[in-house]
Amino acid sequence: MNSIKFNRRTFLAGTGGLALAASAPGLARAASTTIGMIYVGPRDDFGWNQAHAVAAQALKDIPDVTVVEEENVPETNAVTKSMESMIQLDGASLLFPTSFGYFDPFMIETSKKYPDVEFRHPTSLWSADKHPGNLGGYFCYLDQAHYVNGIAAGLSTRSNKIGFIAAKPISLVLRNINAFTVGARKVNPDVKVQLIITGEWSLPVREAEAANAL
């Protein structure tokens, strides 16, 4: 992915004129949709990023839909550069920057700069009263799935000690932990859930160390 990072984050400045020229009146363009997907970690993390990557792969099978992806993009101004390059170089009209920290201020500012592009963020942070209309959110009922996982864990444990590794103690993550714990204790009141917070969304070594410690 290093070459992609170079193209999107450093090559953009030198190709701004080319992108503008390509969008000039009179140039024929195919009637298609380009969707951009941005991940904070690797696409094959067996978790959050991979779930989005699987969806991206399914979108590629739809006629006249092009999907461009970039992984390992930190929650810094780097995501702004990635979004702008997808818009200017790839012609993306719909972006899914999929990590929590991308939203404020990076997606908010970029959506204001590009009002004709749609931006979607995977949380409930968007508010019609505060944010641009071309910026929105989507989410699912993760709490319910974690509740069911907790029931399975509560029925399976032999020590009544269950480990849970989470990234950051934000409200959305705490809801998942609580739902899991409620489910486990529903079927096994003696269960204790031992929690480790890694502090970042994608730290494979730290996550492995946490699992081994538990």
CATH code, 158: 3.40.50.2300
Q: What is the pLDDT of residues 129-161, one digit of tens each?
A: 999 999 999 988 889 999 999 999 999 999 999
**What's the rounded Cα separation, in Å, for the pair 114 and 149?**
41
Asked which of 101, 118, 137 is the last residue of a domain, the reply is 137
Burial class (CB in 10 A: 0-12, 13-18, 19+), 120: middle
* Number of domains comprising the chain: 2
Q: Report, as an integer, the average pLDDT of 87-96.
A: 98
Nearest residue to 102 (alpha-carbon basis) of 130, 81, 85, 132: 81
Q: Are residues 131 and 146 in the same domain?
A: no
Q: Are residues 65 and 122 in the same domain?
A: yes
Q: Are residues 196 and 105 in the same domain?
A: no
Q: What is the pLDDT of residues 16-41, one digit of tens each?
A: 443 434 444 444 444 699 999 999 99
Q: Are residues 94 and 146 in the same domain?
A: no
CB 152 within 8 A of CB 184: no
Q: What is the pLDDT of residue 113?
A: 98
Q: Are residues 192 and 133 in the same domain?
A: no
- pTM of the full predicted structure? 0.77
Nearest residue to 84 (alpha-carbon basis) of 64, 104, 109, 101: 109
Q: What is the pLDDT of residues 50-86, one digit of tens each?
A: 999 999 999 999 999 999 999 999 999 999 999 999 9
Q: Are residues 158 and 123 in the same domain?
A: no
Q: What is the pLDDT of residue 178?
A: 98
Asked which of 84, 111, 137 is the last residue of a domain, the reply is 137
Domain hosting residue 70, numbered range: 2-137
Nearest residue to 82 (alpha-carbon basis) of 62, 99, 60, 61: 99
CB 176 within 8 A of CB 141: no
Q: What is the pLDDT of residue 31?
A: 63
Token readout for 145 is: 């799935």
Asked which of 137, 161, 186 is the last residue of a domain, the reply is 137
Q: Are residues 154 and 186 in the same domain?
A: yes
Q: What is the pLDDT of residue 132?
A: 97
**What's the rounded Cα separation, in Å, for the pair 32 and 94?**
12
Q: Are residues 15 and 99 in the same domain?
A: yes
